[in-house]
Structure 1
Amino acid sequence: MLAGGGAIAAYQAYSTPYAEVVSATPITEKEPIYGDVVASNAITEMRTGERQVCTEREVEKRRAERFGDKDGMVVGAVVGGLLGNQVGKGDGRKLATVAGAVGGAYAGREIDRRHQGGQKYTEVEQVCETVTEPREEIVGYDVTYRSEGELGSMRVDRKPGAQVLLGERDRIVGYDVTWRYEGQTGQLVMDEDPGDRLPVADGVIAVAGKDTPPKG
C-alpha cells in the first residue's frame, strides 16, 4: 500500500497542471458566400420607349431679294414723285408730285410683296423626329446555382458570371480566452477553441508555442 501510495503521489507531483478556461468568446469577421452558377435565364418585358430618328432631305429655297418692302416703297415714291412733278404748274404741280409719290410708294410696296423672289436652289438638311415604339427589354435573370452541394435559385438584376453572390456569413478567426489558475485570472487570444482547460508548464500557460504568464 505504501508503495502504491508513493506511486500515486509521484504521479500527481509530475502530472501536467492545467488552468481552467472561464470563457472563450469567438472572434469573427464577415466573408462573402458564393454559389456556382448552373443556369441563367433572361426575364423580358415589353415596354414603350422613345428614340430619335434623323433623315436627310432636299429643301427648295430662294435666294434673298435685293430690295425689301421698305426699299420698294422708297424707290416707288421717288419715281412717282418725279413723274408727278412733270404734270401741271404751280400748286397743281405740287399736288401732282405728292400724289405721284404716294401712289409710287404704294405701287412699289405691292410689287415687292407680290414678287416671287430670286433664283431657286436646293439644300440638304437633316430633319430629326422622336419616335415612340414598343420594345422588349431584359429586366433581370433567373439563376440556378449550387452551393455546398445543394441547388438553389434566385433572381438578379444583371447577367451573372461563373458565380453569384448569395450573402455574407461570420467566419471565426480566433478566440478571446479568459482563464483561471491558482486564484489568478488572465486573458489571451487563441486561433482554436481551447476547450475546458489549458496546460501550464513551469508556472506559465503554454499555448501554441507561446507561454503566457498566469498573471491577472
Structure 2
Amino acid sequence: MNKTVLAAVAGMLAAGGAIAAYQTFATPYADVVSSTPIIEKEPIYGDVVSSTAVTEMRTGSRQVCEDVAVEKRREERFGDKDGMVVGAVVGGLLGNQVGGGDGKKLATVAGAVGGAFAGREIDRRHTGGQKYTEVEQQCRTVTEPREEVIGYDVQYRRDGEVSTTRVEDKPGAQILLGERDKVVGYDVTWEYEGQTGSLVMDEDPGKRLPIKDGVIAVRSADTPPQG
C-alpha cells in the first residue's frame, strides 16, 4: 500500500479516536426550562446637604396657675342657721316662767316665736367667726400666638445631583426618598435526560447548566471559583 495512503488512514483513525474521547469526557449540561427573578424592595437614600426649619404662627392656649392668699372665716359654734333654733328654745324657756295656766302656755309660745325671730336676725347681722388666711392655687387658661415648626426644607444629593424636598421631621445624615425593586436571585427550573428540578441562583444561568458528578454544578456569588 502506498505510504501516503497509509499515513492518511492513520490520521483519520487518530482523529476519530480524539472525537470519541472528547464525546466521552465532554461536560454534560442540563437545559434551563425557566429562570424567574426574585424581587425585593430596596430603600433609596439621599445624602443631606442642608436642612432649614419651616415655621408658622399659630394661636394656642395654655394653663397658667399661681398661688393666691384667700381670707376666710371660721364657722360659728352653732353654725349659720342655728341662731333661730337657739333663740326659740331660750325664748320658750323665758316665756314659761311667766304666769300660769293658759297664760303660761301663751307666754311660752310667744317667747319661742320671739326668740326664734331674734336669733335669726342675730345670725343675719353677725359677721362670722375668726378670720384666717389660706393659700389656694388658682388656674386660668390664656390664649397667645406662638411660632411652630411645621417641617423642614431639605437639600439632598443623589447620583451627583442636588434636589430639594420637604419632610415633617428633622433629618439626619441621610434622607429616605423611596424604594425600588432589586433582583436578589433567580428561581431556576432545569431538565436533564427526562429529570427536572429547581434551585435558587445568584445570577441568571442563561440556557444551560453544567453537570458535574451527576449534580448541577452551581457557583454562587459567595463561592470562589474552583480549578
TM-score, L = length of structure 2:
0.76
Match of 1:138 in 2: 149
Match of 1:53 in 2: 64
Please give the alpha-carbon distance, in whole angstroms, between the structure 2 residues aligned to 1:47 and 1:162: 30
Please give the alpha-carbon distance, in whole angstroms, between the structure 2 residues aligned to 1:181 and 1:132: 81
Match of 1:149 in 2: 160
Counting only pairs closer than 5 Å after superposition, residues 163-182 of structure 1 correspond to structure 2 as 163-180=174-191
Does residue 113 of structure 2 align to residue 102 of structure 1?
Answer: yes
Instruction: Pick the aligned partner of 1:197 from 208, 212, 216.
Output: 208
Does residue 95 of structure 2 align to residue 84 of structure 1?
Answer: yes
- The Cα shift of 1:111 comes to 0.3
Match of 1:64 in 2: 75
- The Cα shift of 1:71 comes to 2.6
Q: Mark the CA change 1:187 to 1:10 in structure 2 (over 3 Å): closer, same or farther.
A: farther
Secondary structure in structure 1 of the residue aligned to 2:162:
strand
Q: Mark the CA change 1:60 to 1:180 in structure 2 (over 3 Å): closer, same or farther.
A: same
Q: Amino acid of the residue matched to residue 74 of structure 2?
A: R
Please give the alpha-carbon distance, in whole angstroms, between the structure 1 residues aligned to 2:63 and 2:190: 75
Any gaps of 5 or more consecutive residues in structure 1? 211-216
Instruction: Pick the aligned partner of 1:112 from 98, 123, 143.
Output: 123
Q: Amino acid of the residue matched to residue 83 of structure 2?
A: G
Match of 1:160 in 2: 171
Please give the alpha-carbon distance, in whole angstroms, between the structure 1 residues aligned to 2:16 and 2:149: 80
Match of 1:74 in 2: 85
Q: Which moved more, 1:86-95 or 1:102-111?
A: 86-95
Q: Deviations over 1:44-65 (max 9, x none)?
A: 2222222110011110001110
Q: Mark the CA change 1:4 to 1:176 in structure 2 (over 3 Å): closer, same or farther.
A: farther
Q: Deviations over 1:20-51 (max 9, x none)?
A: 44432212222222221111121222222221
Any gaps of 5 or more consecutive residues in structure 2? 1-7
Please give the alpha-carbon distance, in whole angstroms, between the structure 2 residues aligned to 1:91 and 1:186: 127
TM-score, L = length of structure 1:
0.79
Instruction: Pick the aligned partner of 2:45 from 23, 34, 41.
Output: 34
Counting only pairs closer than 5 Å after superposition, residues 12-23 of structure 1 correspond to structure 2 as 13=23, 18-23=29-34
Match of 2:136 in 1: 125
Please give the alpha-carbon distance, in whole angstroms, between the structure 2 residues aligned to 1:185 and 1:76: 115
Q: Which moved more, 1:174-183 or 1:100-109?
A: 174-183
Q: Mark the CA change 1:127 to 1:4 in structure 2 (over 3 Å): closer, same or farther.
A: farther
Q: Which moved more, 1:175-184 or 1:30-39?
A: 175-184
Match of 2:5 in 1: none
Write 1 or 2 for the structure with the bigger share of strand.
1
Q: Mark the CA change 1:197 to 1:94 in structure 2 (over 3 Å): closer, same or farther.
A: closer
Please give the alpha-carbon distance, in whole angstroms, between the structure 2 residues aligned to 1:4 and 1:136: 97
Between Structure 1 and Structure 2, how many residues are aligned? 210
- The Cα shift of 1:196 comes to 3.7
Q: Which moved more, 1:73-82 or 1:123-132?
A: 73-82
